[in-house]
Structure 1
Amino acid sequence: MTRMQELSRNYPWLVTTIGIGLLGALLAMSGQQISTRWIFVLYALVVVAVQAVGMIKDMIAGKFGLDILAVVAIIATLLVGEYVALMIIILMITGGEALEDYASRRAKKDLSDLLDHAPREARVVTSDGIRIVPSEHVKPGDVVLIRPKEVAPVDGVLSSAHAAFDQSTLTGESIPVEKSTGDPVYSGTVNGQQAVEVTATHTVATSQYQQIVDLIKGAEEDQAPTVRLADRFAVPFTILSLAIAGTAWAISGDPTRFAQVLVLATPCPLLIAAPVAFISGMSRAARNKVIVKNGGVLEELSRAQSVYFDKTGTLTQGHPTIVDVRPADEFLSARELLLLAASAEQYSSHVLANAVLEAAKRRRLPLLTGDHAREEATNGVTAVLQGREVIVGKYEYVREHASDARAAHTQPGEVAIYVAVDGRFGGVIVARDKLRASARATVEHLRELGVAHTALVTGDAHATADYIAAQAGIETVYAQCLPADKVAIVTEATPRPIVMIGDGINDTPALAKADVGIAMGARGATAASQTADAVVLADDIAPVAAAVHIAQDTMRIARQSIWVGIVLSVVLMLIAAFGVIPATAGALTQEIVDLVAILAALRALGSRKQDGRFGGPGSVRSGGFLLSDEPSTAHPGLRPGVSAWRLTGLP
């Protein structure tokens, strides 16, 4: 496709306008001025008709946008016979759309990088050799050959002995991750220096990378909130412009003066500035490993007053490790307790289940197959394993099935996983999860950005929750929360807007209820990622502060860009009201205003240097933290059993 064909396909109105203008110029130079005027008039009527149809549809829908000015300006110049200015206005409108598209493409570059990275083909190993198929045709169980430097097409497990994969696209990890047989391999990651085989566990559609691609496509397509910002200025700007133009006409008695003013009031700066700024901000957020689903999310983030965190996988690393296995009685050994617990936990999606499974894997325990299994979100899992009923989960959940269950003593930062076997208390498995290195710095950065209140909302016991919150510098703690409790807390939370950050299925209702829900999505596609307004692609909490910083920057630049366009247009309209600026010169001047507005909005793209302060991992500092003697009264209507505490002594 030639460059001209590409332009014609992408910008048909702009190309047509230029073609009509050149034709009219040629006719005028050959002495056929009347033909030129009729061509310009007929084309202007077509453009007015198209613009008017869109304007009427918007007005019927209750939207009064800036296209009213465009239609009035074209009609005014047409009626006063300013044919050259007429074509410049049309060129300005169609060219403005083209400039906006170009600026949007420039701003979307970082969003598009992941889309371009998606693998298209896969090499499936069969008994007849290697067969190249579209990646969409790969099924779970297929063995896929991934050559050096190739991208994994689907999620799977490593079949080869060793491998190293670059996961920076998904998690932000700059160093390739070493893997051995049985380790997970994620779609979208890049293989190292040797060819390896991977057994697919998902299709392309259900793989992690495709879910991220879907989020990006949604972010690119959902631009409605960006228009609302400009439309807030539409009615007053339209009224002011018509008032200035009408006054100039009334005082001078010259209708041409009306057209001269309105050509400088065409709304391209407003139409372009807001979308370009928001798209730039979304692109900048993507560069910082945060996919923001639409511009409205950036607007809410910029005003965030409260940030509520989940604990496991959000503030903590989400990689808890088993540190102790404590059988309750002699009827089970430590090995049997871990084996039964792991066999049941293979049917659970909770992060603690993965810790138990990893512990069993390290000890090479052969897992039992379940005859029946059922998971109760946030509480635990029940499984029938070779005729034995095994229940694994929280203390309250296990005690319902084993009345002899006893609460375990744990150290701060540890969590107890309780096990019951055939109605008897089997024992406790103790896990520990570390605070993320960047957690405390992220909380401090959020305060610097104007966030007034932070809280930890978790299903863990208050001793563990208090310990983590104190390390992170979080003010308020809500512990032992069920999903319904989290929703109640988020619903009643003040001050607002409130941002909720989580990573699990149990966080999904709260994420949906928050003004902005942010999912920690680096480890795979979850219900949280689909429900959330924004998704953190890095396995780190620091991008949350970066996202708030970027949102504030974007809103500031969007407003500045709009006001730059308004002020320049109003100043030029006032000058034109005195007849100083002819209509043709005014139309050309307005093009400069458009360019200024675009360049001003593109500042929202920012730079890596600007974002570095909020994007890097912080250090965890110890300090003197005390729990207040009284529970927090922020939410007196909470379900009995939910612990809510306010931390004091924060430096």
Structure 2
Amino acid sequence: MSPVEQTGTDRFKTAILLLAAIGLMAGLAFRVAGQADIANLFWIAGVVPALAALLFEILRSIGRGEVGLDIVAALSMTAALVFGETLAAAVVAVMYSGGSFLESFAEGRARREMHDLLSRVPRTATRHLDGGLEEVPLDEIAPGDRLLIRQGDVVPVDGTVASDKAFLDTSALTGESLPARLERGAEAMSGSTNAGEAFDLTATHRAKESTYAGIVRLVEEAQRSKAPMSRLADRWSLGFLAVTVVIALAAWWFTGDPIRAVAVLVVATPCPLILAVPVALVAGLSRAAHFGVLIKGAGPLEAMARIRTLILDKTGTLTEGRPEIVSIDRHDGMDEGDILRLAAALDQASKHPVAQAVVAAAKARGLALPVPSEVAEFPGEGVEGRVEGRKVVVGGDGFVAKRVGRKGSEDHTAIEAGSVLVAVAVDGQMAGRLVMADPLRDGIAAMLAGFRREGIARILLATGDRAAVAERVTEGLGLDGLRSGLTPDQKVMLVLSERKHGPVMMVGDGVNDAPALAAADVGVAMGARGAAASAEAADVVLLVDRIDRLGPGIEIARASRRIAVESVVAGIGLSVLGMIAAAFGYLTPVQGALLQEVIDVAVILNALRALRIAPHEPATANPLEMSGRPAEMLAETSP
């Protein structure tokens, strides 16, 4: 359903509730004033819109092959109107429309909060034309067009690099955390981001035929094929409907009094299910949002409470998604701090992600960075210049070795798999190498153990990265499976195949994860730094860049569902007792409606306990724990 359709539905449900409530209150006012006939008219006027909307929804549900609790509410309102129990019908109308409004409200709030998370998707591109530049819609781009891709731009269509070099961040598509260096003529994928200087691109495909569009189509197909999980209320509905009809018909058959059947139906209006379930779940949604977990509606929250298998992406999810210095390999006795300080000072003049990571590492250690001079940057290779009068060169091992007249070092025995090297030379001598990697997030092992305590039986890693990197990142984590080198459609197949073990949750942050997020029973996106496509396709979005927030989210979902079940069991038990009393003539329809109101208040108060759920906060890992564990075989790219 589109956002416009959803907004219209929300307004319609609000209007139905207002009409039912106004009709009930106005009727009561006229009844107190002794105007019974006018009171009946107002009650009927309040009931008819709610009943009409309810009958329409029932017909739609039957068309989808679904039978729910709506039928009980429709029977009670219809029977009350037919036999002149208009006040009872009005009370039922208000109760039912109130429950429908609550659930709609929860989903609407989630949609509003999602609006700010969706980052821009390219709608236009800059095209060369007759020696100038023009901004054109994506649909107008044809193969052969020459496009200008500025720094920070998302590549709008598949094409080939028409400049000498280009540096593209493909992490959202492939999981590689560092930009890839592309030479003239190399293929560039749509959806990647220009991490270097502006370059020209020759389009080879139209936008609708490009990589990014193909992933969007995968998302749409996955969403259409996604198996709906049965809702809590629906699983109780058929049994309760059968019990209600049997008691009502038995009361009418044995007594010959249709009013007793009406009283049974009114008492039986399943408000514990209609009200308690959405109240508990809405409270759970609110509580989860407090912990930075945005759940897009009551349905995903219910599904989240039943997850048995968890599939994790790697880059940006299990790992930080950005390179960090894990060690410094020294030469000629220079101090590690001096190596880092000089390299970071020079790298201040570069916008390359690796250079920025070096600067960040130096600042984190409290190093004062002087301003470099005479800086010359060689895109994709390195930077040279002067720092405090000393000649400094920073870059790839081969580039720096060439600048100092030495061969690149082949001694990588001390460097662990999953690392990238940044060489540093000072005054014509090799000073050392910075060993960089994409580290695991702190406390990952404890977090996974917490997931297992919450009932998740299987935890797997799914990544588009290489097998050697995937094996390195999972070392010692005790995962139940590892799948590497996966394309977006292969991730979808993994999600579908894991369903045999129970409901599946997929966690990711890249464009390549979006189809799998859409196909999973619950898709979770890293919303703080993740791609818009993944946030759009997911059922749950982590509003902060902390995957450990997922633990409290699952705990809140399970607790909310448990509270909802408790409310339903207690409420239905009381309703059944009330139905029996009504069948024996101890309750009139109006008395039955009032009794149901008392039951409603009790179950709602119980359901509101979900607002006070206190999940276990993730334990803060020792900062030294797992420090220096490289988690990704980074591309041989350098500042």
Q: Could you say which TM-score interval applies, normalised by the shorter chain?
A: 0.5 to 0.7
Greater alpha carbon shift after TM alignment, 276-285 vs 464-473: 464-473
Give the C-alpha shift of residue 99 in structure 1. 6.9
Which one of 560, 565, 574 corresponds to residue 559 of structure 1? Answer: 565
SS at match of 2:307: coil
Letter of the structure 1 residue corresponding to residue 23 of structure 2:
T
Give the C-alpha shift of residue 501 in structure 1. 2.2
SS at match of 1:436: coil
Residue pairs, 1:155-554, within 5 angstroms: 228-322=231-325, 323=327, 355=357, 409=413, 411-412=415-416, 414-416=418-420, 430-459=435-464, 465-479=470-484, 486-493=491-498, 495-523=501-529, 525-554=531-560
Letter of the structure 1 residue corresponding to residue 34 of structure 2:
L
Q: State the distance in 1 between where 2:544 and 2:27 align.
A: 51
Q: State the distance in 2 between where 1:74 and 1:583 align.
A: 11
Letter of the structure 2 residue corresponding to residue 301 of structure 1:
M
Residue pairs, 1:42-81, within 5 angstroms: 48-81=51-84
Letter of the structure 2 residue corresponding to residue 257 of structure 1:
R
Are residues 113 and 514 of structure 1, via their aligned partners in 2, closer, same or farther at CA, if it must alter by over 3 Å? closer
Q: State the distance in 1 between where 2:293 and 2:93 align.
A: 34
Q: State the distance in 2 between where 1:72 and 1:552 align.
A: 33
In the other structure, the counterpart of 1:591 is: 597
CA contact (8 A) 2:107 2:298 kept: no
Letter of the structure 2 residue corresponding to residue 572 of structure 1:
G
CA contact (8 A) 1:96 1:594 kept: no
Give the C-alpha shift of residue 286 in structure 1. 1.2
In the other structure, the counterpart of 1:94 is: 94
SS at match of 1:437: coil
Q: Figure out how many residues of one structure are paired with residues of the other and give that number.
A: 460
SS at match of 2:546: coil
Letter of the structure 2 residue corresponding to residue 448 of structure 1:
R
Q: State the distance in 2 between where 1:92 and 1:26 align.
A: 23
Q: State the distance in 2 between where 1:536 and 1:487 align.
A: 21
Give the C-alpha shift of residue 617 in structure 1. 2.7
Give the C-alpha shift of residue 621 in structure 1. 9.8
Partner deviation per Cα, 1:90-137 (whole Å, 9 max, x = no partner):
1342155347757987x899979979999xxxxxxxxxxxxxxxxxxx
Q: State the distance in 2 between where 1:538 and 1:474 align.
A: 24
Q: State the distance in 1 between where 2:311 and 2:42 align.
A: 62
Letter of the structure 1 residue corresponding to residue 90 of structure 2:
I
CA contact (8 A) 1:410 1:416 kept: no
Give the C-alpha shift of residue 41 in structure 1. 5.5
Letter of the structure 2 residue corresponding to residue 88 of structure 1:
A
Letter of the structure 2 residue corresponding to residue 25 of structure 1:
V
Letter of the structure 1 residue corresponding to residue 306 of structure 2:
R
Q: State the distance in 1 between where 2:290 and 2:110 align.
A: 8
In the other structure, the counterpart of 1:124 is: none
Are residues 525 and 62 of structure 1, via their aligned partners in 2, closer, same or farther at CA, if it must alter by over 3 Å? same
Q: State the distance in 1 between where 2:300 and 2:396 align.
A: 39
SS at match of 1:264: helix
Are residues 382 and 483 of structure 1, via their aligned partners in 2, closer, same or farther at CA, if it must alter by over 3 Å? farther
Identical aligned pairs, as a percentage? Answer: 33
CA contact (8 A) 2:260 2:585 kept: yes
SS at match of 1:563: helix
* Structure 2 unpaired stretches of 5+: 1-13, 118-151, 153-226, 332-338, 364-368, 383-394, 398-407, 424-431, 627-632, 634-639
Are residues 452 and 524 of structure 1, via their aligned partners in 2, closer, same or farther at CA, if it must alter by over 3 Å? closer
Partner deviation per Cα, 1:443-488 (whole Å, 9 max, x = no partner):
1101111222223334555565445423544354445555565455
Residue pairs, 1:3-152, within 5 angstroms: 11-28=18-35, 33=36, 48-82=51-85, 86-95=86-95, 97-98=97-98, 101=101
Are residues 603 and 109 of structure 1, via their aligned partners in 2, closer, same or farther at CA, if it must alter by over 3 Å? farther
Partner deviation per Cα, 1:253-306 (whole Å, 9 max, x = no partner):
222211121120123322222222222222222111111223332233222222
In the other structure, the counterpart of 2:629 is: none
Are residues 446 and 576 of structure 1, via their aligned partners in 2, closer, same or farther at CA, if it must alter by over 3 Å? same
Letter of the structure 2 residue corresponding to residue 574 of structure 1:
I
Q: State the distance in 1 between where 2:491 and 2:84 align.
A: 66
Q: State the distance in 2 between where 1:8 and 1:574 align.
A: 35
* Structure 1 unpaired stretches of 5+: 1-6, 119-154, 156-223, 328-333, 371-380, 384-390, 394-403, 420-426, 624-640, 642-651
Q: State the distance in 2 between where 1:509 and 1:38 align.
A: 53
Are residues 241 and 472 of structure 1, via their aligned partners in 2, closer, same or farther at CA, if it must alter by over 3 Å? same
Give the C-alpha shift of residue 315 in structure 1. 2.4
Are residues 499 and 46 of structure 1, via their aligned partners in 2, closer, same or farther at CA, if it must alter by over 3 Å? closer
Which one of 581, 604, 625 corresponds to residue 575 of structure 1? Answer: 581
Task: Report the RMSD for the aligned CA atoms in angstroms.
Answer: 5.0
CA contact (8 A) 2:248 2:264 kept: yes
Q: State the distance in 2 between where 1:8 and 1:532 align.
A: 30
CA contact (8 A) 1:465 1:477 kept: yes
SS at match of 1:11: helix
Letter of the structure 1 residue corresponding to residue 444 of structure 2:
A
Q: State the distance in 2 between where 1:460 and 1:61 align.
A: 41
Are residues 589 and 528 of structure 1, via their aligned partners in 2, closer, same or farther at CA, if it must alter by over 3 Å? same
In the other structure, the counterpart of 2:388 is: none
Are residues 501 and 325 of structure 1, via their aligned partners in 2, closer, same or farther at CA, if it must alter by over 3 Å? farther
Are residues 456 and 56 of structure 1, via their aligned partners in 2, closer, same or farther at CA, if it must alter by over 3 Å? closer
CA contact (8 A) 2:27 2:39 kept: no
In the other structure, the counterpart of 2:195 is: none
CA contact (8 A) 2:461 2:479 kept: yes
CA contact (8 A) 2:510 2:531 kept: no
In the other structure, the counterpart of 2:161 is: none
CA contact (8 A) 2:21 2:46 kept: no
SS at match of 1:501: strand
Are residues 382 and 270 of structure 1, via their aligned partners in 2, closer, same or farther at CA, if it must alter by over 3 Å? farther
SS at match of 1:581: coil
Partner deviation per Cα, 1:325-377 (whole Å, 9 max, x = no partner):
999xxxxxx99xx99xx99x968xxx76864786899795957597xxxxxxx
CA contact (8 A) 2:50 2:93 kept: no
Partner deviation per Cα, 1:418-457 (whole Å, 9 max, x = no partner):
99xxxxxxx9974123332221211110111122222333
CA contact (8 A) 1:507 1:528 kept: yes
Letter of the structure 2 residue corresponding to residue 26 of structure 1:
A
Q: State the distance in 2 between where 1:461 and 1:42 align.
A: 66
Structure of greater relative contact order (alpha carbons < 8 Å, 6+ residues apart) = 2
Q: State the distance in 2 between where 1:263 and 1:532 align.
A: 40
CA contact (8 A) 2:323 2:438 kept: yes
Q: State the distance in 1 between where 2:609 and 2:246 align.
A: 33
